[in-house]
Structure formats: C-alpha cells, structure tokens
C-alpha cells in the first residue's frame, strides 16, 4: 500500500517540493525519492525475514521496483489521456494494475497486514523549479472560433519566425582586411607545413627555421607547370566568366577594339572565344589537311 501510495503521489504530483536548496533541486529530488525507495525495499526485505542484503541486490530490487512503479504511472497516464482527461483517476490506476497482471483485490488486505513497517515520509524536498519559460512577446489569445478550453497558445517564440541575423560587416575596409589576413594566414600556414614536412633550403646558416624555403625540385617536364594555368586559376576564370566582369569585357574588347584602329590595340589580344568563323562547323568535314589524312597501309602485295 505504501509503495502504491507512493506511486500515486510520485507520478501524479511530482511537484512536491522539498530538500535543501542545492545547486540542482531536480537532482536532489530524485535522489531523495530513490533513497526512500531503497528504504522501502530494505523494509520489505526485513519483513520477509532477511537479516542482511548485499548492496547490489538491494540496488537491483530498487531498480525493479522503480521500473514497476514508473510503468504503472506511465500506463495510468496513458489511460487517462485516452479518455481525454489530463489527470489520472483511481480507475485508471486500477485498470493499469489489472492490465499488468496484478490482482487488485489482494491490495487492501496487503495494505492492512499487521507486520507492515511504517516508514517515515521522505524528507520534504523542494520540487525542482521549472525554469520559467522565456516569455517572448505577448501570448496570443484564442480567436473566436476556438473554444476557450483548448490549450492556450504556446509562447510566441515557438511559432513566430523572427528573422534574426547579425548586421553583416558592411565596412569595405574591414572585409578586405579580413580577406587579406585570412589568405595570408592560410598561405603562411600551408607553406610552413609543407616546409616542415619536406626538404628545405635556408638563407641563413645559423637559423634554418625562421625563413624556411621549400627546396627546389627539378621536374622532368618543367614547361608544363610553367605554362599551363593551374586548376585554381582556371576555376577562378570560370567563376569570373559567369560573373559581372564578363558583361563589360565581351562587348568592349573583342569587338570594339578590333574595329577601331585608334583604340587600344592590345585589347584585341583577348580570346576570340567562339569567334571562329561560323562556316567552320559546316566545313569541318571537308578540311583537307595532309596531317589529318589516314595513314596508308604498306603496299605488301605489290612487292611480292
């Protein structure tokens, strides 16, 4: 009875407050409850005639008891919610117990047994203070078509989209500064890393770490890396091609400069991107260039 009683209390009104004001009241509360359960288990054991028990055994039994009680609570709450209520009634509990295979009829007798031990109520601890939900803004009242018994609106912050963003650093100078520093740091770190992990050369004999130079490595085909644009450059070029710079360039340079002899002649050095004569495509098939002709087979038969 005691235990059941405890269940009822525990699961229904968790809000009973007690205990010392420690750093975490919720924790204290849980600890106190647990301690009480332990006492109950010990009492029951004593009642059954045990004189001593291993701590682990007690712990296990406590755990079992706790699960059992928790399950009852959970189930009872489910029943009650199932019937569209918010507070469980006795019948909910009873149904639960029956459902769990407990003979409810035996309960009053058990509760009234003579050898039961009375356990002092657990020290009153302060139920943990649920931190006040941050109330942002005014809670909305129900509109006319919603009956008042329906739950209230939650706090506005849970459903209202508040566009929050930090004011971007719009100061051009700071942006450039940042970009420059960032790039420099990356480059420095990267080169230092490579220098640290590979062979280096130094400008000073006494100090080879302050200005480490990545050692020069001859390559077998040096002109490739020296002439071909790096992938990074190509990538950058692709990006700029599609960006605003292109608008200016296409019109200005490839065509105008060519037409106007007075204009900057060198502008005409821009790639005539796709300015290949339009006839080209159609003529492709008829290009007669000796280097494109197929290689002939040797004239074997004639020789024979």
Give 129 or 180: the residue with its C-beta nearer to another protein.
180
Non-local (6+) Cβ contacts of 196 within 8 A are 212
Q: Verify binding: residue 226, another protein, rule CB under 8 A.
A: yes
Q: By CB under 8 A, what part of segment 242-271 binds another protein? A: 243, 245-246, 248-249, 252-253, 261, 264-267, 269-271
Q: What mask, x for binding another protein by CB under 8 A, covers residues 206 to 225? A: xx--xxxxxxxxxxxxxxxx
Return d(Cα 172, Cα 178) in angstroms, integer. Answer: 10
Judged by CB under 8 A, does residue 295 bind another protein?
A: yes
Options 227, 282, 285, 302; binder of another protein; rule CB under 8 A: 227
Helix (H) or strand (E) holding 46: helix 25-48
Can you tell me which residue has the tokens 């909305």? Answer: 140
Whose Cβ is closer to another protein: residue 98's or residue 180's?
Answer: 180
Given the complex with another protein, which of 101 and 294 has the nearer CB atom?
A: 294
Contact flag: residue 184 with another protein (CB under 8 A): yes
Element (H, E) at 201: strand 200-201
CB of 178 to another protein, least distance (A): 11
Is 114 an interacting residue with respect to another protein (CB under 8 A)?
no
C-beta closer to another protein: residue 151 or 290: 290
Output the smallest distance, CB 133 to another protein, in A.
Answer: 46
The residue behind tokens 């420690």 is 22
Q: Per CB under 8 A, which region of 12-20, 123-131, 158-166, 284-292 contacts another protein?
A: 284-292
- The distance of closest approach from Cβ of residue 264 to another protein in the complex, given in angstroms and rounded to an integer, is 6
Is 18 in contact with 122 (CB distance < 8 Å)? Answer: yes
Give bridge partners of residue 18 from the DSSP assignment.
Answer: 125
Cβ neighbours around 190 below 10 Å, total: 10
DSSP for 240-283 reads: HHHSHHHHHHIIIIIIIHHH-TTS-GGGGGS--TT-S-THHHHH
Cα–Cα nearest to 30, from 43, 42, 16, 40: 16
What token pair was written down for 229? 């644009």
Q: Which two tokens stand for residue 25?
A: 């009241």
Query: What does the per-residue mask of binding to another protein show for 126-165, with x meaning CB under 8 A?
Result: ----------------------------------------
The reply on whether position 276 binds another protein by CB under 8 A is yes
Q: Which stretch binds another protein (CB under 8 A): 87-95, 137-145, 158-166, 204-212?
A: 204-212
Q: Binding of another protein at residue 169 (CB under 8 A)?
A: no
- CB of 14 within 8 A of CB of 127? yes
């Amino acid at each position: 009875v005691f235990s059941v009683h405890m269940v009822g209390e525990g699961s229904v009104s968790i809000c009973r407050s007690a205990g010392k004001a420690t750093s975490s009241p919720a924790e204290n509360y849980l600890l106190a409850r647990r301690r009480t359960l332990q006492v109950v288990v010990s009492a029951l054991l004593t009642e059954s005639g045990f004189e001593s028990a291993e701590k682990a055994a007690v712990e296990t039994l406590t755990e079992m008891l706790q699960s059992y009680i928790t399950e009852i609570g959970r189930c009872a709450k489910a029943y009650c919610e199932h019937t569209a209520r918010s507070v469980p009634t006795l019948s909910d509990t009873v149904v639960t117990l029956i459902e769990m295979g407990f003979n409810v009829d035996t309960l009053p007798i058990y509760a009234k047994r003579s050898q039961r031990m009375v356990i002092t109520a657990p020290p009153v601890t302060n139920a943990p203070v649920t931190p006040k939900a941050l109330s942002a803004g005014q809670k909305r009242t129900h509109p006319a078509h919603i009956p008042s018994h329906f739950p209230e609106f939650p706090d506005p912050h849970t459903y209202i989209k508040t566009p929050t963003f930090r004011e971007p650093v719009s100061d051009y100078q700071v942006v450039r500064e940042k970009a420059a520093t960032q790039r420099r740091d990356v480059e420095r770190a990267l080169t230092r890393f490579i220098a640290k992990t590979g062979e280096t050369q130094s400008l000073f004999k006494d100090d080879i770490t302050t200005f480490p130079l990545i050692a020069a490595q001859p390559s077998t085909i040096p002109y490739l890396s020296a002439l071909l644009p790096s992938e990074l450059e190509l990538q950058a070029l692709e990006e700029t091609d599609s960006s605003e710079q292109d608008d200016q360039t296409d019109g200005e340079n490839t065509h105008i400069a060519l037409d106007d002899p007075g204009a900057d002649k060198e502008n005409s050095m821009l790639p005539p991107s796709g300015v290949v004569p339009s006839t080209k495509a159609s003529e492709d098939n008829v290009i007669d260039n000796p280097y494109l002709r197929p290689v002939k087979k040797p004239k074997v038969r004639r020789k024979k």
